[in-house]
Amino acid sequence: MNQKRLETLCGLCGTSGREHAVRDYILSELNRMQLPADAVRTDRLGNILVHKKGASPAKRRVLFSAHMDEVALMVTQIHADGSLGFDMVGGVSAAAVIGRQVCVGKDRIAGVIGSKPVHLLSKDARKKPAEMSSLSCDIGSGSKEETEQYVRVGDIIYFQKNAQDLGSGSFASKAIDDRFGCEVLLELLEQDLPYDTEFSFVVQEEVGLRGAGVAAAAIDPEIAVIFEATTAADLPGSEGADRVCTLGSGAVISFIDGRTVYDKALYDLAVQVSEAQGIAWQTKTKIAGGNDAGAIQNAGSGVRVLAVSVPCRYLHAPVSVIRKADAQACIDLAKALIPALQETEL
């Protein structure tokens, strides 16, 4: 894993519909790889579509895909005292953002997410989870007029850049979902591949899988592999299937989630390849969540789909945690799947 590049990717600000900074960086990386001019294109939604020539023509059109957007918050109101009201872009828990440092708008103004002091809450309110409508963002302004000099309704509130090593083998950052998937694709694209392969870096996954279906319709693959980060709930008090997957147990190969029933033959192949090559793997033990496979599967005449994910604690929070060994397992499996998907009877 190219951790320096992953840190750069995670540090970029790009929520759903505002992915331009991420897209520009990925395009610069693709340009550095000196791919042919006609191998890279950007569609009207902002998806990046890439055709990578391999040593041999593809026997099947296979697509590897990841999404560029991250969860964030959007300014919906400027209060009289200069603070900001907001709502979520993608699935963000109100409890996860209280007290967090953020950056606001195009100028990335520093801010802090605040909540009503506990002594002002009713007894009933103290027992309930916090709601976004009860929170505000403080940028140090004293009036609505002052705030309006810097921020407008519709501006984005991003979590602060915070990539760092954690302990001896973990990595923590915002936006691991799904900048990690983007890093997997970039790792593959800078390799000499055995077969022609299609790639898509897609937009707006966090608000309804909107970019992936458009990309898949344009590429028309027979098979698609989606690279993601998925929820690891391996925390104290969590037992059995509720743990979903665990850090340190390898790449997550899903057989079902809340949106998709994955192709059984592709799932079996990924497991076989992992075991044959000594790649650590696990599966999700709870039917939950979803990813771009749900939209890609339904594109055109239908696409056979597989998902490979890095287990990730605190998904959709201001900072998430992964194990570097799990990340490398996903990359190793991605590389091994390119020939396997072309050479295996499916």
Q: How far apart are CA 342 and CA 196, in angstroms?
A: 10
Catalytic residue among 198, 205, 206, 228: 205
Distance of CA 309 to the CA centre of its chain: 10
Q: Are 143 and 151 in contact (CB under 8 A)?
A: no
Rounded to whole angstroms, the Cα distance separating 181 from 310 reads 9
Q: How far is Cα of residue 289 from the mean position of the Cα atoms in its chain?
A: 13
Q: What is the token pair recorded at 297?
A: 């599967």
Can you tell me the distance from the alpha carbon of 66 to that of 178, in angstroms, rounded to the nearest whole number?
Answer: 7
Per the DSSP assignment, residues forming a β-bridge with 304 are 223
H-run or E-run covering 21: helix 20-32
Encoded amino acid at 213, one letter:
G
Cis amide linkage into residue 326, ω under 30° from 0: no
Residue type, 22: V
Length of the chain: 346
| Helix, strand or coil, per DSSP, at residue 126 | helix
Q: Any catalytic annotation for residue 148? A: no
Taking the C-alpha atoms of residue 232 and residue 311, their distance in angstroms, rounded to an integer, is 5
Residues recognised as catalytic: 205
